[in-house]
Copies of this chain bind each other. A is one copy, B any other.
Amino acid sequence: MKQLSTEDFSKMERIERLNLINSCTGYKSANLIATQSIDGKSNIAIFSSVTHLGSDPALIGFIVRPTTVPRDTYKNIKETGYFTVNHVTESMIADAHHTSANYAPGISEFEKTNLEEEYKEHISIPFAKGSPIQLYCKYVNEYYIAENDTIHVIASIENIFFEENLRHDDGWLQIDKGNVVALNGLDGYCLPKLIDRFQYARKDTPTKSFLK
């Protein structure tokens, strides 16, 4: 196996280091975060850092780097307190990727792509139309990560919208039925397929499939 150390990282060109370090932790979720400014301007941007934090209460976290793009997302969340998380499907990947382009603040990526705003009853923040799982989230807190000047945003899941065919009787959403993609690094879009689902692991008992 090839081995690279921190000394090797420091000698790398910026783009090579970005590609290597972004791809070395494994697959990442591909989510479009949609927001609205206090004066009603929509924004949508792709994020790969949305992480499950806990189920009771239902909490997620994601990382923003406030000094770089996407700036509008963080500003809008701070203004309104709310945002939506929308899963990216195979047919949305080119548009989802384009939301990472460096548009001037206030420009809506909904206008620059084929992504369409969808509005739900009693919710003023847009969703991404056609996304098979959509979360309506409320800003709860943030933790400043001093080591690299980023912010870990903590949010509660207020509502989950999903296509009914994804849901199993025990609450589990089978994401591959929605053609949802995963990210490999900054720019590699992958389509996962379920290979097995296992029952709760018990000590000294072989792993049992749910499916077989």
Binding site for B on A (CB under 8 A): 1-6, 9, 12, 14-31, 48-61, 63, 65, 85, 87, 90, 93-95, 97-103, 112, 120, 133-135, 140-141, 143, 145-148, 150, 152, 154, 156-164, 167-168, 170-176, 180-182, 184-185, 187-207, 210
Nearest chain-B residue to A97 (Cβ)? B198
- B contact residues around A156 at 8 Å (CB): 6
Least Cβ–Cβ distance between A92 and chain B, in angstroms: 11
| Count of chain copies | 2
Least Cβ–Cβ distance between A99 and chain B, in angstroms: 8
- B contact residues around A85 at 8 Å (CB): 25
B197 touches A187 (CB 8 A): yes
B207 touches A185 (CB 8 A): no
B203 touches A102 (CB 8 A): yes
A28 touches B29 (CB 8 A): yes
> How far is B134's CA from A3's CA once the two chains are assembled, in angstroms?
9
In the complex, the 6 A-B pairs of residues with the closest C-beta atoms, listed nearest first: A26-B29, A16-B171, A190-B192, A19-B171, A192-B192, A27-B182
Main secondary structure of the interface of A (DSSP, over half): mixed
B148 touches A143 (CB 8 A): no
What 9 new A-B contacts, CB under 8 Å, besides A53-B148, A54-B65, A143-B145?
A2-B167, A23-B175, A26-B29, A27-B30, A49-B52, A174-B188, A187-B210, A190-B194, A191-B192
A25 touches B6 (CB 8 A): no
B201 touches A194 (CB 8 A): no
- B contact residues around A173 at 8 Å (CB): 19-20, 23-24, 184-185
Least Cβ–Cβ distance between A12 and chain B, in angstroms: 7
A5 touches B159 (CB 8 A): yes
Given contacts A102-B203, A161-B3, A162-B24, contact A189 B196 (CB under 8 A): yes
